[in-house]
Structure 1
Amino acid sequence: MPTVRLRRLAAELRRLRTGMQLTREDVTAQTGINTATLYRIETARVRPQQHTLIALLNLYGVPEPQHGEIQALSQGASNQGWLRPYHSELPEEYTAYISFEAEARAVRNYESLFVPGLLQTEDYARAVIKGVLPMASTREIEQRVQARIERQGVLTKSDPLHLWAIMDEASLRRMVGGPEVMHEQIRRLTAAIAEPHMMLQVIPFNAGAHAGMPGSFVLMSFPEVEDPEIIYIDSMAGDLFLEAEADVRRYGAIFDNLRAVALSPDDTSRLLASLANEM
Structure 2
Amino acid sequence: MAGNNEHPPKARALGAELRECRIAAGVKQRELANQLDVSYVSISRYETGARTPKPEDVAQILATLGVVGAKYDELVDMARDADQPNWLDTSHTGIRRELTTLIEFERTAQRITDVATIVIPGLLQTSGYARAILGETSNDVDARVAMRVGRRDALMRRDAPEFVALIWEVALREPLGGYRTMVDQLHHITAMAERPNITVQILPAGSTRWHPAHAGSFILFNFPKSAPIVHVEHFHSTAFLHREKDVLAYEAATTTLQQLAMSPEDSVGLIAKIRDEMEGQA
Q: TM-score, normalised by structure 1?
A: 0.69
Matches within 5 A, 1:23-34: none
CA distance in 1, matches of 2:251, 2:148: 25
Q: CA deviation at 1:98?
A: 1.8
CA distance in 2, matches of 1:233, 1:148: 17
Matches within 5 A, 1:1-279: 10-12=3-5, 69-70=41-42, 72-74=44-46, 91-131=96-136, 133=137, 136-137=138-139, 140-208=140-208, 209-224=210-225, 227-279=226-278
Greater Rg over alpha carbons, structure: 1
Cα 1:154–1:43 change in 2 (3 A) is closer
Task: For residue 189 of structure 2, give the secondary structure of its aligned residue in structure 1.
Answer: helix
CA distance in 1, matches of 2:45, 2:122: 30
CA distance in 2, matches of 1:266, 1:160: 22
CA distance in 1, matches of 2:129, 2:264: 22
Task: For residue 214 of structure 2, give the secondary structure of its aligned residue in structure 1.
Answer: coil
Structure 1's unaligned 5+ residue stretches are: 1-8, 16-39, 56-66, 79-87
Alpha carbons 2:114, 2:164 under 8 Å: kept = yes
CA distance in 1, matches of 2:253, 2:147: 29
CA distance in 1, matches of 2:252, 2:37: 41
Cα 1:10–1:189 change in 2 (3 A) is farther
- Look up the equivalent residue of 1:100 and give its one-letter code: F
- Look up the equivalent residue of 1:110 and give its one-letter code: V
CA distance in 2, matches of 1:243, 1:258: 21
Task: For residue 219 of structure 1, give the secondary structure of its aligned residue in structure 2.
Answer: strand
- Look up the equivalent residue of 2:237 and give its one-letter code: G
Task: For residue 147 of structure 2, give the secondary structure of its aligned residue in structure 1.
Answer: helix
Sequence identity percentage: 28
- Look up the equivalent residue of 1:73 and give its one-letter code: R
Structure 1 consecutive aligned stretches of length 4 or more whose deviation exceeds 2 Å: 9-12, 42-51, 67-78, 88-91, 206-209
CA distance in 1, matches of 2:249, 2:189: 28
Aligned length: 217
Deviates more, 1:108-117 or 1:122-131: 122-131
CA distance in 1, matches of 2:109, 2:164: 13
CA distance in 1, matches of 2:163, 2:213: 18
Structure 2's unaligned 5+ residue stretches are: 19-31, 50-57, 59-70, 72-92
Q: CA deviation at 1:72?
A: 4.5
CA distance in 2, matches of 1:74, 1:229: 19
The residue that corresponds to 1:20 in the other structure is none
The residue that corresponds to 1:4 in the other structure is none
Alpha carbons 2:13, 2:101 under 8 Å: kept = no
- Look up the equivalent residue of 1:191 and give its one-letter code: A
